[in-house]
Amino acid sequence: MATADGTWSYRDRFGEEFGRTYFRRFGDGVVSSLGLGTYLGDPSDAVDERYEEAITAALENGCNVLDTAINYRHQRSERVVGRALAGADVDREAVLVATKGGFLPFAGERPADPGEYVREEYVDPGVVDREELVRGSHCIAPDFLEDQLDRSLSNLGLETVDLYYVHNPETQLQERSREVVYDRLEAAFARLEERVAAGDLRYYGVATWDAFRVPPDHASYLSLPEVASRARAAAKAAGNTATHLRAIQLPFNVHMADAFTVAAHEGSEGTESTLRFARRAGLNVFTSASIGQGRLAQGLPEAVAERLEGESSVQKAINFARSAPGVTSALVGASSPEHVRENLDACRFDPMGAEAFDRVFE
Ligand SMILES: NC(=O)c1ccc[n+]([C@@H]2O[C@H](COP(=O)([O-])OP(=O)(O)OC[C@H]3O[C@@H](n4cnc5c(N)ncnc54)[C@H](OP(=O)(O)O)[C@@H]3O)[C@@H](O)[C@H]2O)c1
């Protein structure tokens, strides 16, 4: 498990090499404001090998945030994260390992008949009730998430996951009412609170694609205040003194800045943006698609680019994401060690201050 001592020592080892506020608070420890994502890439041995090298390079050069999910590359990403973590010259206690559960994962490759696989692996053994499945592929029922957490721990070769996300719960809105989805989330959180008490995970979170960046009248909207309130109720039901909901994840980049620009969540001082609400609620924010899933390597709008520090478009895009007030860490997917090095070099620059960040939107 990531610890205060482990992560602060990691900061002592690398902090001097980076700009101001490169390491940021997460719980009683610190994490790098660049995190490594593991979503994209073919489910092949060759890509596994590249990822192992890239993750090792990240860990050994100043990045102590790894983000994965059980369904990424059909469980291969979790397994390669586990291998890299075991082999790299860093302490396990120095690294925040985050994973996610919600999408039914395949095992190593796409099966010839996905429906049959889901039936044999999940429905027939009673891990998933068909009624709980949305689109035949997504489930946030407590028993299913428990099963998935166990599989993730085994894939990662870890005793404790530092941050366990419920993966894209807005998928449930395609077949359920919003109220039912909040109820289901509360039941999921209650089970995760129990697994915190058992030592299997340290904190949990909610990873989203649309839910927290769209306006309230959007079909995929979920209210962050309501989700946070459900987590408090879940902690109480599980007998924990405080909630362990600690983080959210959502896309954020130069072309998808909604978390900063869209006021959609009722806070104590009116309707607030996701970033503002999260900051005041003590939730860490991890950004996904921070370089537009690779597209921002081709360039940024000129008016934005000229205000950002960095020697390439990707470096500038990274500095945009990690400069937004309230962002803890910008996740960038990279299976190439060269990309990892370029991305870490972006962080030798100081991030923009809040006022300079505001001016990008003028
Ligand atoms: N909850 C969700 O719905 C959700 C959705 C998407 C992502 N995520 C998480 O967020 C992480 C980041 O998002 P993402 O991977 O989708 O998108 P991203 O980080 O914006 O982009 C990743 C892509 O950029 C390429 N890249 C990285 N560094 C580069 C560089 N310096 N120059 C040129 N290209 C570069 C990578 O290529 P190489 O692989 O060749 O290095 C990869 O194809 C994911 O890995 C995942 O952990 C969550």
Q: Which domains does the chain have, with CATH numbers?
A: 4-359 (3.20.20.100)
Determine contact, residues 37/294, Cβ cutoff 8 Å.
no
Residues 6+ away with beta carbon under 8 Å from 252: 213, 258, 259, 260, 285, 287, 288, 289, 290, 321, 324, 327, 330
* Whole-number Å distance between alpha carbons of 192 and 189: 5
pLDDT of amino acid 253? 98
pLDDT of amino acid 166? 99
State if residue 297 touches ligand 1 by the CB under 6 angstroms criterion.
yes
State if residue 41 touches ligand 1 by the CB under 6 angstroms criterion.
yes
Helix runs in 111-218, H state only:
114-118, 142-156, 178-197
State if residue 293 touches ligand 1 by the CB under 6 angstroms criterion.
yes
Residues in the chain where the model's pLDDT stays below 70: none
* Whole-number Å distance between alpha carbons of 103 and 166: 9
| Protein residue with least CA distance to atom 3, ligand 1 | 209
Determine contact, residues 104/137, Cβ cutoff 8 Å.
yes
State if residue 168 touches ligand 1 by the CB under 6 angstroms criterion.
yes
Q: Tell me, what amino acid is at 317?
A: A
The ligand 1 atom nearest the CA atom of 39 = 45
Helix runs in the chain, H state only:
4-14, 45-59, 76-87, 114-118, 142-156, 178-197, 224-237, 258-261, 274-280, 302-305, 313-323, 337-346, 354-359
Q: String of b and e for 223-259 (b: at least 16 CB within 10 Å)?
A: bbebbbebbeebbeebebeebbbbbbbbbbbbebbbb
**Ligand 1 mean position to 37 CA, how many Å?**
6
State if residue 294 touches ligand 1 by the CB under 6 angstroms criterion.
yes
Determine contact, residues 243/231, Cβ cutoff 8 Å.
yes
pLDDT of amino acid 356? 92
State if residue 288 touches ligand 1 by the CB under 6 angstroms criterion.
yes
* Burial class of residue 208 in the structure, from the number of CB atoms within 10 Å of its CB (0-12 exposed, 13-18 middle, 19+ buried): buried
| Protein residue with least CA distance to atom 43, ligand 1 | 294
State if residue 292 touches ligand 1 by the CB under 6 angstroms criterion.
yes
Residue 215: how many CA atoms within 13 Å on its side-chain side?
3
The ligand 1 atom nearest the CA atom of 287 = 10
Determine contact, residues 11/26, Cβ cutoff 8 Å.
no
* Whole-number Å distance between alpha carbons of 341 and 159: 30
Q: String of b and e for 23-38 (b: at least 16 CB within 10 Å)?
A: bbebbebbbbbbbbbb
Task: Please give the angle made by the CA atoms of 197, 200 and 204, to the nearest 5 degrees.
Answer: 80
The full length of the chain comes to 362
Token readout for 48 is 């596994």
